[in-house]
Amino acid sequence: MSAPGRQCKLVEPQDLGRLVTEFLPEGGLLALGGLFKQNRPMALVREVLKSGRRLLRLVSSPGSGFDVDVMIAAGAVAETYLAAVTLEDRMCPAFRGAAERDEIKAHCVDALSVVGGFLAAANGVPFQPVDAWKGSDVIRHNPLVTEMTCPFTGRPLHATRAIHPDLAILHAQEGDIYGNIRHLSTMTYADQMIARAAKRVIVSVDRIVDTDDIVARSRETSIACNYVDAVVHLPHGAHPTGSFPLYSIDEDHIAAYATIAEAARKGGDAERAALADWLDRHVFAPETLSDYLDMIGGGSRLAELEREAEAL
Amino acid sequence: MSRTKDCTPRELQAFVLSKELRDGEMGAAGASAAIPMAAMMLARLTHAPDLQIAGEMFVNPRPRKLYDSMLDDRALGACEAAETFLELFGHSHRGLDFFFHNGMQVDAHGNINLHHIGGTIDAPKMRGPGAANISYAHTSRRFYICTNVHSPRTLVERVDFITSPGYLDGPESCRAAGITGGPRLCVTPLAVMDFDPETLRMRLQSVHPWSSVQEVRDKTGFDLPAADTVPETPLPDSETLALLRQRVDPEGLLRRA
């Protein structure tokens, strides 16, 4: 066991509101881990929304969707630096509607500019040179990118600006009380770079494991404790996104939201009220994670999602 | 005519694309890419056993069935290596042999738009999802456009915004921009188009058995040159179709409307 006095980074779920408010200023830059419908830190997203922080600027690994759409629907977002925003089989209704009504500034960025920005920040340099862009309008409109000259050869290149999120929220399957994180999912997405780029990092994990277990398989530690400010035990904290191999994606839940949000985008007061009601029931009303999990179908639904992941 | 009922448009798109992929090549498809993934898997089973699937983080995955999304552990968790976004730069700079694109708009020069239709990028009438990796359009040796629909709204003379470049405005603009790769085919539910080597504009190569030159032209938003006699797109033989249905797509995702 560890020496007494070592700082325990395990925080209680009820402390998250305070931590989010401490780490993330109004209008702050928030980074989300995971990719599309996998390992998205949904329970932490709900904590950010409950904290009341507004005018947020969002950045993510190159693929985002449901989480970002819910945050926009809740009115918490001012700007996005997101390469692709999609539910994959359909578009993100709140993102699309807010961009078209000029309620958010949806910056035009791509994967290399965002990943390059994380990489530069992780390496402590102001920009990442990029030599793989040609002919796309995305480059001309990308606020992260400028032209530069190679200092060695004089050749024209692009530079993409370092991205330093105020707060990164990530989800992984396992971690210990000191903040050592272990992804069991096949991919680690951009989570490792984001953890290095961000000023503050909160990670939710499905399970807390003993530090001896971390030590026994140290090569599998995906994010070392020195990059993590707080770890919180939130089983099923990625729902409705998947946390493989523990539980699969709740496509029905995401589709039900998308139908309501799309109706609100196209419709009038009644449809917008229905979306506000959805947000209230799923984000603001549940006081604890277990209240939330009861709301989305409880143990039987969670068991279905676990079986689906197990059968893969 | 009975043969045409044997194969759905999406199955034929996968078959057409599979024949394009050669043994020993390396390429990938992005998210929402059931047809391209089916094409790569079918190519491996028929003529390209050494086809390498890599470039979108899952190296040589072994999907047991197709999903609408083909970029998560359900489909690709069983794979030879799992990369992270760190490898994005490696793949983008080295390029792939082939990649696949889809778009809200695709134009006569094969440019792809996933950002906005109408208005401007800052004040869009309709805002699209954007794209993840736009560099593969030109760093890959070639790419294929595979669309869900064939309509004048999708196939337009000029895209409102170039997310991923095809042949821009033609040979001169490609030279000026330093673009050397580009789209090889555009495969839709109705037809196969290729590109005139002189003008780098799309032209009709073959029409699927359930469509006609007239229908394809009516549903294309730009003038589509064609030979006097346009061949019918060859359908897969029964053995190939059986491989597609039994080994690649056992749950019939490509058979659904």
What is the predicted pLDDT for the residue at B31?
A: 80
**pLDDT value at B2 more than 60:** no
State pLDDT tens for residues A107-158: 999 999 999 999 999 999 999 999 999 999 999 999 999 999 999 999 999 9
Parallel/antiparallel/unpaired status of strands B105-107 and B155-156: parallel
CB < 8 Å to B130, chain A: 82-85, 106, 108-110
Distance, C-alpha B146 to centroid of its chain: 3
Q: How far is CA A110 from CA A67, A86, A100, A132, B252, in A?
A: 19, 14, 19, 12, 33
DSSP letter at A75? T
B1: distance to nearest CA of chain A, Å? 32
DSSP letter at A17? H
The DSSP secondary structure of chain B, one letter per residue, reads -GGGGGS-HHHHHHHHHHHH--TT-EEE--SS-HHHHHHHHHHHHHT-TT-EE-SSSEES---SS--S--SSHHHHSS-SEE--TTHHHHHHHH--SEEEE--SEEETT--EE-SEEEE-SSSEEEE----S--THHHHSSEEEEE-S---TTTEESS-SS-SB-SSTTSHHHHHHHT----EEEEE-SSEEEEE-TTT--EEEEEE-TT--HHHHHHT-BS-----SSPPBPPPPPHHHHHHIIIII-TT-GGG--
ipTM for this prediction: 0.93
CATH of domain B2-255: 3.40.1080.10
Report the distance separating Cα B176 and Cα B179, nearest Å.
8
Of the candidates A301, A189, A167, the residue with the CA atom closest to the CA atom of residue A240: A301
The residue of chain B with its CA nearest to that of A97 is B127
Q: Select from A111, A186, A245 the Cβ nearest to the Cβ of B88.
A: A111
- Residue scoring higher pLDDT (B70 or A230): A230
Give yes or no for A173 touching B (CB within 8 A).
no
The residue of chain A with its CA nearest to that of B104 is A91
Is A137 in contact with B115 (Cβ distance < 8 A)? yes
User: How many CB pairs below 8 Å do chains A and B form together?
Assistant: 170
Report the distance separating Cα B181 and Cα B121, nearest Å.
26
B125: which residues sit within 8 A by CB, 6+ positions away? A100, B116, B117, B118, B119
- In A61-131, DSSP assigns E strands to 63-64, 77-81, 84-85, 105-106, 127-130
Is A106 in contact with B127 (Cβ distance < 8 A)? yes
For chain A, which ranges sit under pLDDT 50? none
- Give the domain ranges of chain B: 2-255
B144: distance to nearest CA of chain A, Å? 17
DSSP letter at A280? I
What is the predicted pLDDT for the residue at B4?
A: 44
What is the predicted pLDDT for the residue at B136?
A: 87
The CA radius of gyration of chain B, in Å to the nearest whole number, is: 18
Q: Select from A85, A186, A249 the Cβ nearest to the Cβ of B130.
A: A85
Long-range contacts of A283-286 (CB under 8 A, 24+ apart): A283/A46, A283/A49, A283/A50, A283/A70, A283/A74, A284/A49, A284/A50, A286/A46
What is the predicted pLDDT for the residue at B30?
A: 81
Q: Domains along chain A?
A: 1-121+164-312 (3.40.1080.10), 122-161 (no CATH)
**pLDDT value at B152 more than 60:** yes
A26: distance to nearest CA of chain B, Å? 24
State pLDDT tens for residues B32-44: 899 999 999 999 9
A302: which residues sit within 8 A by CB, 6+ positions away? A236, A239, A247, A293
CB < 8 Å to A89, chain B: 32, 68-69
Question: What phi, psi does B46 have (nearest 5°)?
Answer: -100, -50
Q: Select from B68, B73, B165 the Cβ nearest to the Cβ of A136.
A: B165
State pLDDT tens for residues B205-216: 999 999 999 999
Parallel/antiparallel/unpaired status of strands A167-175 and A200-208: parallel
Site of tokens 């805002």: B127
- With cut-offs at 50, 70 and 90, classify the pLDDT of residue B5: low
